[in-house]
A and B are shown apart, each in its own frame.
Chain A
Amino acid sequence: MAKVVLPELGEKIEKAVVSFWYFKEGDRVKEKDDLVELATDKATFNLPSPCSGILLEITVSEGDTAKIGDILAVIQEE
């Protein structure tokens, strides 16, 4: 299992809003695919999938806010 974590985005950025999931739970994802888009005040940031596998669980829904280090999703690695 691989956890997708909200990484450090820069100084003074403590949180971001999940603005768009490119996949839904149960979908097969490839490493480096755009997985989720996050939005801070004036920037959107695409987070790629850290590995290939099945997107088991999305833990932060679109529109919800995540803090740096929060788990956004869980992927069953292949």
Chain B
Amino acid sequence: MEFEVFDWGLVEYSRALSLQKEAYFKVKEGNPESALIICSHYPVITIGRRGERKNLLVSEEELRLRAVSLSCVERGGDITYHGPGQLTAYPIFNLACLKKDIHFFLRNLEEVALCFLMGLGIKGQRLPGLTGVWLGDKKIASVGIAVKNWITYHGLTINIKSNDLENFRLIRPCGMDVEMTCAEEALGRELEMCVLKKRLIEKFQEVFCPAEAILWQR
């Protein structure tokens, strides 16, 4: 499988969602075969199909005061937060070119996060029965996907910057009493997002298409 890479920078969640859908239709037509979108979002709380409002711990008024928007989305999973201190990847992958297996894909997304963190010197782990990547009992990376005609959208978010953890206190992430952590907190030093983007793209290639020599970038 081969994928084309798109760097959308810092983008509104709702804008990214409509762009993802455009990318989905292009992949469905086979051009490109698959796409990988890398971006960060302005502060937003998203609620998946299995999400419940009770896991939002503050009023919508307070969200407005904090300049955090709210969005209900057609992905699996419960409630989560996206912000500028995270690296988000939306693989629009045609699983017909890879393997028609949703859990295989989810586990490989976790593998991307594990390899990425390992490259930074952070040893993350999976926890039995849970999705995502964890440091001890704190979560550092989240996954949630939607699949249509065996083409995936939504994806993977890795917490990078420590100044973006505060907004997780507005929710019960994934409907659980889970504490979030980030790469900066684990390392005790600041990280540059632009350098990390390239590393994340490389990890996607290593995990999903190690035999491909060419990585198309746009």
Contact = CB atoms under 8 A, between A and B. Distances in A.
Contacts of B146: 43-46
Contact of B100 (A10, A43, A44, A48): A10
Interface in B122-152: 131, 143-149
A40 B147 CA distance: 11
Contact of A42 (B100, B101, B145, B148): B145
Contacts, number: 64
Contacts of A19: 49-50
B92 to A, nearest CB: 14
Given A19-B50, A34-B148, A39 B76 contact: yes
Interface residues of A, number: 19
B106 interface: yes
Contacts of B101: 9-11
A42 B147 contact: no
Contacts of B62: none
Given A19-B50, A34-B148, A37-B49, A44 B75 contact: yes
B207 interface: no
Contacts of B106: 42-43
A42 B77 contact: yes
Given A40-B76, A43-B147, A44-B76, A9 B102 contact: yes
Interface string A22-54: 000000000000100101111111101000000
Contacts of B143: 42
B66 interface: no
B206 interface: no
Given A41-B77, A44-B147, A46-B146, 9 more contacts: A10-B104, A20-B49, A37-B74, A41-B76, A41-B131, A42-B143, A42-B144, A43-B75, A44-B76
The list of the 4 closest CB pairs from A to B, nearest first, reads A10-B101, A43-B76, A46-B148, A42-B131
17 contacts: A10-B102, A10-B104, A11-B103, A11-B104, A12-B103, A13-B102, A19-B49, A42-B106, A42-B144, A43-B145, A43-B146, A43-B147, A44-B48, A44-B145, A44-B146, A45-B148, A46-B146
